[in-house]
Amino acid sequence: MKISNSVLHRFISALFVLAISGCASLQAPNQEHTSTVLSKDGSEIVYGVKGQGKTTLVFVHCWTCNHRFWKSQIDYFAKSHKVVWLDLAGHGQSGSARVDYTMEAFGEDVAAVVNAVGTKKVILVGHSMGGPVVVEAAKKLDQKVVAIVGVDTFYTPFQYPESESEIDVFVKPIRDDFVGASQQMVQSMFTPKVDPELKASIVKQFTGTNPEMGISAMYELFRWHAQDAPSSLEYFSDKLSNINAAPSGNETPLHKSVLLIPNVGHFVPQVKPDEFNAVLNSIISEHQ
């Protein structure tokens, strides 16, 4: 049977497309895929997925930060797990349709991303404000969550304000001079020996945030700690682990769930990524 040149050309083209598609599918696990999903209130949440594995690690950033703060963790853990990052509403690349930036609303952002990804076994990791956020997300995701890891957020020496008047006093400098007061606060969260360039790059991240979002989120963060923290931490006590900073290296854990990393301030994953990754890896291994 004689095959025409046009048919042969289409056949070869089809093989070429299949070959390219096959290569793309083989490479996909090592690539980062970015997408968007709508949170419960219509806020557009940007998220990314990288790696493969039965257990999915979801990294949630701190107040006025973004997913890039987790770069060392995303690159490291994506070699052996499916890793998901997101920018909370009003942060990073994500949009916002909200006025009040509550921990529950942020939790909806995380839940929307996890449900969009379709994973069934999740470990939520939240740094600072991200701690209450992942706890709120866990309430919505129920049995999908096998573990929660708080990073320098629960059972720390920091004394959160408890009453509305105390919260007002604490937030007033941020409200009066958002950039200046935020930078001053962040600069106090490092040990003296931290790399100056790394410190400057972290501090700089806090200057480009929408002040209205930042002020609202800070108010709501303190309200959550005053009203919801005790019952929430008790409810998730069997799933909760904590990786906290030990700036002097002489601190002792304030709770049985706490693992300390010595000689580092609040930004543990960024300043000591290797040590942090090793401790987090030990926690993950208990839930494989």
pLDDT digits (tens, 9 = 90+) for 65-94: 999 999 999 999 999 999 999 999 999 999
Domain extents in the chain: 31-159+228-285
What are the tokens at 62?
Answer: 């701190």
What are the tokens at 238?
Answer: 């069997």
* Cα gap 257→135, rounded to integer Å: 15
Q: 54 near 30, Cβ under 8 Å?
A: no
Which candidate, 74, 66, 58, 159, places its Cα nearest to that of 111? 58
What are the tokens at 265?
Answer: 């301030």
Q: 155 near 253, Cβ under 8 Å?
A: yes
Q: Averaging pLDDT over each range in 20-24, 44-48, 178-182, 209-213, which range is the top one?
A: 44-48
- The reply to whether CATH 3.40.50.1820 applies to domain 31-159+228-285 is yes
Q: How far is CA 96 from the centre of its chain?
A: 17
Q: 264 near 272, Cβ under 8 Å?
A: yes
User: Does pLDDT of 228 surpass 80?
Assistant: yes
pLDDT digits (tens, 9 = 90+) for 108-139: 999 999 999 999 999 999 999 999 999 999 99
pLDDT digits (tens, 9 = 90+) for 174-197: 999 999 999 999 999 999 999 999
* Cα gap 203→5, rounded to integer Å: 64
What are the tokens at 43?
Answer: 């806020």
Sign of the CA dihedral 32, 35, 38, 43? positive
Q: 174 near 181, Cβ under 8 Å?
A: yes
User: Does pLDDT of 7 surpass 70?
Assistant: no
